[in-house]
């Protein structure tokens, strides 16, 4: 691994300055007619829900996906909080699980040394026949886990006096113990290093080895009382006999995680709490054995829609939605000891989102192009919803079109909690005021992605690329052939028409922005694979490689096996 330059983040000459402006203070509003308006909480409770592989169009609400909901999968609870809260339809993540989780936990882009996670597994998921070879990622032994020195959002909230709980999939840790010992969570219920649950149902009162053992406390079989209280009220279109048949059967991990989260809230409601719920749903395995039986029967009997209609996946989706419904109901109906006369919902912000785009086998990402594992829009756009019963926390009933990124969630949660400034500034910017005021705006020029490796499998063809989105424009650089692609997402959300040849000035403008960012974060690049012929490039323009941006005039650059293959931004042609 090449040496990384040490740069204090606050001193970077980045082209995008992250600031937030508000035109005026929001008008007072009353959250309900049966109680006085709740005051603006200084340190509200926070419930953050991170679904797994839950794509942009996997939910039935049109509000997070520009009018492109699923017409088969049903998510009534998410529809309701999307209607009552703030929905973001330009919310972005990384291409799959670990890079997104690392970014939102640390608030840092992937090239930062405290992150350094770009992809699940390694960066050579394309075989030995590829032109380039991805660099090492993660830690020195290749493990894609957070280093002990990374400062997570959990640690920052602990510093602000919050009790922090992690419930569900973690994936960026060596051991379950590290979640509480190194990464800022007072409790870890169900999390460890695994990327999937193995199996969704408990067996003999225990979940499988891929699920952290603390969740086994909630793994008991379904009882009549449990079904009547926690499942029947949220069921729609399910045969009552199918609900009765659940009694005595194995608990589903999605239900167990909802139980554990509600239990965590109950035990900590006397003081401020941060509950990070990370369901294993809707990650594979997906099949008849994985969905809850009542929901599986419902979707098998349902007429398929125009979009992808997989009954087993539908059962997982709606089961996840029911867990959100239970959480919101608990917040609405539980008195708040810190706020007499009000329920917890008046002093709590709920955020729902996902860690990457959907898998095309199970969900239709259309009209977006691509899927999980790719830097196309279908791989990195996800739902994002913020909800609270207190309009001074979330001024609801809105759709916000601001492009936002996973690292922003770290900054947002820290800002909501009133956490002290980070010792080293994060890359994310707080969305707190976007939640609270529809007139607030982010003055941010660009979002960036960098993936210096391969993921060629399962219908995916992701090769080394760097990407910048600025306003309506998305620019993609391909390292294998040093080509550029330019898309106008305002008119071509499906990335069908490459405008790079028609808009060279726009390519150079955004390309220069991308080069500055790569240089600022000292991003590593893929190298020419051993056994390949050297590349000879005659360059008039700017190159980025080996941690440096260099302006060249007619220079010949020779790239030998083992050398980084540079980004090349040609200079403007004189007329």
- In the chain, % helix, strand, coil (3-state, to 5) comes to 25, 20, 55
- Whether a cis peptide bond, with omega within 30° of 0, leads into 295 is no
Tokens 């203070």 found at: 25
The verdict on whether 171 is a catalytic residue reads yes
Residue 252 corresponds to which tokens in the numbers above? 């589903």
Task: Give which of 235, 232, 233, 262 is closest to 247, Cα–Cα.
Answer: 232
**H or E segment to which residue 432 belongs:** helix 432-436
Three state DSSP letters for 138-183 = CCCCCCCCCCCCCCCHHHHHHHCCCEEEEEECCCCCCCHHHHHHCC
DSSP state of 307: S
The verdict on whether 283 is a catalytic residue reads no
**H or E segment to which residue 465 belongs:** strand 465-470
Q: How far apart are the C-alpha atoms of 148 and 69, rounded to whole Å?
A: 40
DSSP β-ladder status, 132-133 and 527-528 = antiparallel
User: Which is catalytic among the residues 171, 283, 342, 477?
Assistant: 171
User: Which is catalytic among the residues 97, 183, 283, 409?
Assistant: 97
CA atoms within 13 A on the CB side of 574: 1
DSSP state of 15: S
Strand order in the sheet with 567-570: 548-559, 535-545, 567-570
**H or E segment to which residue 89 belongs:** strand 86-92
Task: Give which of 463, 506, 465 is closest to 488, Cα–Cα.
Answer: 506
Whether 200 and 221 have beta carbons less than 8 Å apart is answered as no
User: Phi/psi at 549 (nearest 5 deg)?
Assistant: -95, 130
**Which ranges in 231-344 belong to alpha helices (H)?**
240-244, 253-268, 293-301, 311-333
Residues recognised as catalytic: 97, 171
């Amino acid at each position: 691994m090449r040496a990384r330059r040490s740069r204090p983040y606050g001193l970077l000459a980045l082209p995008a300055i992250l600031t937030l402006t508000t035109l005026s203070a929001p008008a007072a509003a009353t959250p309900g007619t049966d109680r006085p308006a709740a005051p603006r909480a200084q340190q509200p409770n926070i419930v953050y829900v991170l679904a797994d592989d839950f794509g942009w169009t996997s939910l039935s609400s049109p509000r997070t996906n520009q009018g492109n909901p699923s017409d088969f999968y049903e998510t009534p609870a998410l529809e309701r909080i999307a209607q009552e809260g703030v929905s973001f339809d330009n919310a972005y993540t990384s291409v799959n699980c670990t890079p997104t989780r690392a970014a939102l936990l640390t608030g840092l882009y992937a090239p930062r040394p405290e992150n350094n996670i770009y992809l699940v597994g390694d960066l050579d998921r394309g075989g030995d026949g590829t032109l380039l070879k991805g660099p090492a990622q993660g830690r020195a032994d290749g493990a894609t886990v957070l280093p002990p020195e990374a400062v997570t959002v959990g640690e920052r909230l602990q510093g602000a006096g919050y009790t922090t709980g992690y419930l569900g999939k973690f994936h960026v840790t060596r051991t379950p113990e590290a979640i509480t010992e190194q990464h800022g969570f007072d409790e870890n219920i169900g999390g460890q290093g695994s990327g999937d649950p193995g199996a969704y149902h408990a067996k003999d009162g225990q979940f499988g080895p891929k699920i952290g053992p603390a969740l086994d406390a909630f793994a008991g079989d379904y009882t009549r009382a449990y079904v009547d209280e926690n499942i029947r009220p949220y069921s729609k279109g399910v045969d009552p006999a199918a609900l009765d048949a659940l009694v005595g059967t194995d608990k589903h991990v999605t239900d167990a995680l909802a139980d554990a989260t509600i239990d965590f809230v109950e035990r900590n409601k006397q003081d401020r709490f941060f509950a990070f719920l990370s369901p294993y749903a809707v990650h594979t395995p997906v099949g008849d054995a994985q969905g809850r039986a009542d929901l599986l029967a419902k979707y098998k009997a349902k007429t398929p829609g125009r979009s992808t209609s997989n009954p087993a996946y539908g059962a997982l989706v709606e089961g996840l939605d029911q867990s959100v419904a239970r959480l919101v109901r608990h917040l609405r109906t539980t008195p708040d000891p810190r706020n007499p006369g009000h329920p917890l919902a008046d002093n709590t912000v709920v955020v729902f989102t996902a860690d990457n785009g959907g898998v095309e086998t199970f969900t239709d990402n259309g009209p977006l192009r691509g899927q999980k594992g790719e830097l196309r829009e279908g791989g990195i756009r996800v739902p994002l919803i913020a909800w609270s019963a207190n309009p001074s926390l979330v001024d609801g009933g809105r759709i916000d079109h601001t492009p936002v990124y996973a690292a922003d969630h770290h900054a947002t949660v820290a800002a909501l909690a009133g956490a002290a400034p980070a010792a080293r500034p994060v890359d994310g910017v707080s969305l707190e005021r976007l939640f609270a005021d529809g007139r607030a705006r982010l003055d941010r020029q660009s979002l960036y992605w960098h993936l210096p490796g391969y993921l060629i499998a399962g219908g995916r063809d992701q090769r080394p690329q760097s990407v910048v989105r600025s306003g309506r424009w998305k620019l993609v650089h391909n390292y294998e052939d040093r080509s550029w692609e330019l898309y106008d997402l305002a008119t071509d959300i499906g990335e069908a028409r490459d405008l790079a040849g028609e808009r060279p000035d726009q390519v150079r403008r955004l390309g220069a922005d991308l080069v500055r960012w790569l240089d600022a974060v000292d991003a590593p690049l893929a190298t020419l694979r051993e056994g390949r012929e050297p590349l000879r490039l005659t360059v008039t323009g700017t190159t980025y490689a080996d941690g440096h941006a260099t302006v060249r005039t007619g220079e010949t650059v020779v790239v030998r096996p083992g050398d980084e293959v540079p980004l090349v931004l040609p200079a403007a042609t004189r007329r």
